[in-house]
Structure 1
Amino acid sequence: MLSGGAKMAEAVVELLERAARREAPLEELRALQLAVQAVPPAALRARLSDDHLGALFALLSVNDREQVSACVSILERLLQALDPVYVIQNLREELQKGLFHPDDSVKILTISQVGRIVENSDAITEILNSPELLRQIINCIGGEKIAVAKELIVEISSVSADSLNYCANSGLISELIGELTGDDVLVRATCIEMVTSLAHTSHGRQYLAQQGIIDKISNIILGAESDPFSGFYLPGFVKFFGNLAVIDSPQQICERYPVFMEKVFEMAESHDPTMIGVAVDTLGILGSNMEGKQVLQKTRSRFQNLLNRIGHQAKNAPTELRLRCLDAISSLLYLPPEQQTEDLLRMTESWFTSLSSQPLELFRSISTQPFPDLHCGALRVFTAIANQPWAQKLMLNSPGFVEYIVDRSVEPDKSSKDAKYELVKALVNSKTIAEIFGNQYYLRLRAYLHEGPYYVKAVSTTAVEGAE
């Protein structure tokens, strides 16, 4: 006896067979359209053949909108079931024809399949090994104003220097970049996201620099002062530089484009929560590596004052901005063990003390709040400084603080238990902890680490159930 699902799959295959013989009238295509929606794609995978799919693609060539629409809907569902590598290996010609189909729905179907192929590392090599297909994809996208197309251009360009050249020669990238300086501020915002993705590859960055695009973006930030609509695109432009600085060299980027740092500070000092959020994120990105930390340190008192503002926001802003501040603070204060020179330890200590008059108490009060996100955000700040001797001394000298760390009852949920465990692990793995905390506390922390994040002390059965 066949199960219901298997029966449905059989019915789909029967209808597909008829379509393959070109005998299926519109009613049967509609029945097939309904049937494929009811059967999970995985159940069809083994039963699908090239003939079935080829026939459906062939039915797209008829000048009948209803038939084309039904076939597109069926193909969308069936192609989901197939591995992108299979699609590019077996349906290459069908995809090539689909790219130039007069009906937009067929083009979009084809381009979305190309999108799946581009995202798959095995399948993309198939496209790159057939320059003709790549050229056609790019020409087709170039001819159309389809939103999917621009996302694809960036993905294809990011794969290799060759594929970037194909896209550049087609004029598509220059069109994309033209929109960065165009009048439509919302289009600018989406374009800068794509250009940022392009900057994640070394050949992409090289291209952007050669074409003078980084200078262009810098000039737009400079001119933003006089643009009342700059709020729409400025966040993206500033993030672009933040990402670029970390991938490339914070010092070079900040020296070459001083407007970037100036704008980040201005935004952080403003009263607009959106701008403050972007600035805080950017400072967190910039301060995530050593060179970036030193660039910030060079601004001296201006950055120290800014830290005081960020500490204030971490305590008083709306929740979402508080979280972003806590994440940035963690990123700025963390020092890998191998980079802990006396100068750098002095620097992080002075940054920590700039955050508030009593910074340890500030984060401890945030960590005792009933909101898991804030609770974990504050624990991450402690984890960031846990391996630095000055912070260990502060923790030891703060009444009840070490007890709080080893107290499991204050962690209400899994994410909080995990965050506390990371803090304990960072402390135990530090070279100075035994000496600073003393043996008794050090052994309690080691026991905590050994027991794992979710340990519950078994006293009696009822007690354990209660704790669970």
Structure 2
Amino acid sequence: MAARVLALLREVARLEAPLEELRALQAALQSVPLSSLREQAAELRLGPLFSLLNANHREQTTLCVSILERFLQAMEPVYVARNLRDELHRGLSHPDDAVVILTLAQVGRIVENSEAVTEILNSPELLKDIIYCIGGEKLSIAKALIVEISSVSPESLKYCTDSGLVTQLIRELTGDDVLVRATCIEMVTSLAHTHHGRQYLAQEGVIDQISNIIVGADLDPFSSFYLPGFVKFFGNLAIVDSPQQICERYPIFVEKVFEMAEGQDPTMIGVAVDTLGILGSNVEGKQVLQKTGSRFEHLLKRIGHQAKNASTELKIRCLDAISSLLHLPHDQQTEDLLRMTECWFSSLTRDPLEHFRGISTQPFSELHCAALKVFTAIANQPWAQKLMLNSPGFVEYVMDRSVERDKASKDAKYELVKALANSKTIAEIFGNQYYLRLRAYLSEGPYFVKSVSTTAVEGAE
């Protein structure tokens, strides 16, 4: 059937008004799997189909759009961007909406592909046409392309701002519609991941506006709709910029995170815990939290409690945050920082090692892995290694492969063993016997199964 499709495509290219052939081609395409078309993608010559779109014939245009949509699905975005650039350019200004929509759909595929999007950026005129074409649509349609394009380079951001779309986005962000506001903050957060995006948001006063909205959130009965997104925005901003500078300039951010974590709303607690994990994922962020003193230590105790007693989803989020907060790369392990992480670990609960070991024995793979991740986070720190060694049965638990039943759990246990075995202090603290067992586990890999040989003994029953 794929051969018939190619034959009809060649026939269409040969004729000036191939209406019957287009109908036959459309029908034939319905019964050809996409995988078969992908195999023939190199032989597809779509130029004549695009040319037929220029004729002022409604049915012909409709048929061509339908056929092209199917063919283009079979082509990689990079190929479309490189080989059909002129066709895309013409399609954006086509008088028929169906052609424009088809073209924008392909642009969407290209923008979502990191390799393909650079092809668009190498064609400023095409980029400009795309942005102005999107500008004619509703913001709800435009948002899926516009922020991604803005994030690629300062030049693409300028095109987007010149079109008025980014200004409209920011206006919606600070507007009265709380649901639209919640949607817009996600897009603005994506823009803030780039240096030029952050510069633009700062210059336009957007970051200050977001901070002011958080300040006034206590007086807004609908703040729960957008507050999580606004707090996440600052968490992401802090980690890609400077945690200390962001927290010092916008103290309401840290205060609001603490308030949410100390509250009773599970949704807000989850967002706060996630944000603390992001903020404390690097040393500068850890030091910012350490400066809050006993309040943060009290909060750690609450997070440790939630990790054992909350819903499964919140337990996992708490464990992930704890892992992030306690992780300390070897080259950053100063005496002060090691004392800090040891103190934080102790603040989580009365007997934290057994506390998390108990969580890891629960019959939920995701929960089990999240608990193992906590042990992995501290595995390269000398105080934790001493704690593990002195905890009855803990090192045996680490070596025991039978505890892990599924691939994810085996992988998580292997990461713990690897972190221990590769530590520079492990041989001295654990001793040679345990150290050699760790190295053997590491060399055997995560899925090793010890073979059991049986020997028949004459006269045995």
Equivalent residue number for residue 43 of structure 1: 39
1:28-87 CA-to-partner distances (Å, cap 9, x unmatched) read: 3541452456763313313211434424xx2375452x5544432321221122233432
**Residue 294 in structure 1 maps to residue 287 in structure 2:** yes
Equivalent residue number for residue 337 of structure 1: 330
**Residue 59 in structure 1 maps to residue 53 in structure 2:** yes
Return closer, same or farther for 1:218/1:447 CA change in 2, 3 Å cut-off.
same
1:72-114 CA-to-partner distances (Å, cap 9, x unmatched) read: 2321221122233432344333322322334443322211211
Equivalent residue number for residue 23 of structure 1: 18
Pick from 414, 420, 425: which aligns with 1:432? 425
Which one is further off, 108-117 or 339-348? 108-117
Contact (CA 8 Å) 1:16, 1:32: kept in 2 or not?
Answer: no
SS in 1 for 2:226: helix
Give the alignment of 1:198-237 within 5 angstroms.
Answer: 198-237=191-230
Equivalent residue number for residue 111 of structure 2: 118
Return closer, same or farther for 1:73/1:231 CA change in 2, 3 Å cut-off.
farther
Equivalent residue number for residue 160 of structure 2: 167
Equivalent residue number for residue 284 of structure 1: 277
**Residue 100 in structure 1 maps to residue 93 in structure 2:** yes
Contact (CA 8 Å) 1:379, 1:423: kept in 2 or not?
Answer: yes
Which one is further off, 8-17 or 419-428? 8-17
Return closer, same or farther for 1:165/1:152 CA change in 2, 3 Å cut-off.
same
2:211 and 2:222 mapped to 1: Cα distance? 17
Pick from 101, 107, 128: which aligns with 2:121? 128
Return closer, same or farther for 1:54/1:215 CA change in 2, 3 Å cut-off.
same
The sequence identity of aligned pairs, in percent, is: 74
Residue 440 of structure 1 deviates from its aligned partner by 2.1
**Residue 314 in structure 1 maps to residue 307 in structure 2:** yes
Count of residues in Structure 1 that have an aligned counterpart in Structure 2: 452
2:358 and 2:372 mapped to 1: Cα distance? 11
1:127-185 CA-to-partner distances (Å, cap 9, x unmatched) read: 23332222211111111116342121111111111111111111111111111012222
Return closer, same or farther for 1:434/1:38 CA change in 2, 3 Å cut-off.
closer
Contact (CA 8 Å) 1:50, 1:90: kept in 2 or not?
Answer: no
Pick from 263, 266, 269: which aligns with 2:259? 266
Which one is further off, 135-144 or 182-191? 182-191
Contact (CA 8 Å) 1:76, 1:109: kept in 2 or not?
Answer: yes
Contact (CA 8 Å) 2:151, 2:157: kept in 1 or not?
Answer: yes
Amino acid at match of 1:445: L
Contact (CA 8 Å) 2:50, 2:64: kept in 1 or not?
Answer: no
1:332 and 1:60 mapped to 2: Cα distance? 60
Amino acid at match of 1:175: Q
SS in 1 for 2:447: coil
In structure 2, runs of 5+ residues without a counterpart are 456-461
Contact (CA 8 Å) 1:270, 1:276: kept in 2 or not?
Answer: yes
Return closer, same or farther for 1:233/1:60 CA change in 2, 3 Å cut-off.
farther
Equivalent residue number for residue 296 of structure 2: 303
**Residue 10 in structure 1 maps to residue 3 in structure 2:** yes
Contact (CA 8 Å) 1:304, 1:351: kept in 2 or not?
Answer: yes
2:34 and 2:303 mapped to 1: Cα distance? 53
Which one is further off, 126-135 or 338-347? 126-135
Contact (CA 8 Å) 1:12, 1:35: kept in 2 or not?
Answer: no
Return closer, same or farther for 1:215/1:435 CA change in 2, 3 Å cut-off.
same
Amino acid at match of 1:357: R
Pick from 406, 412, 415: which aligns with 2:399? 406
Amino acid at match of 1:457: K
Equivalent residue number for residue 356 of structure 1: 349
Contact (CA 8 Å) 2:19, 2:60: kept in 1 or not?
Answer: no
2:411 and 2:334 mapped to 1: Cα distance? 30
2:30 and 2:444 mapped to 1: Cα distance? 54
**Residue 378 in structure 1 maps to residue 374 in structure 2:** no
Contact (CA 8 Å) 2:326, 2:344: kept in 1 or not?
Answer: yes
2:32 and 2:96 mapped to 1: Cα distance? 22
Return closer, same or farther for 1:162/1:403 CA change in 2, 3 Å cut-off.
same
Amino acid at match of 1:135: K
Which one is further off, 447-456 or 254-263? 447-456
**Residue 137 in structure 1 maps to residue 135 in structure 2:** no
The TM-score normalised by the length of structure 2 is 0.93
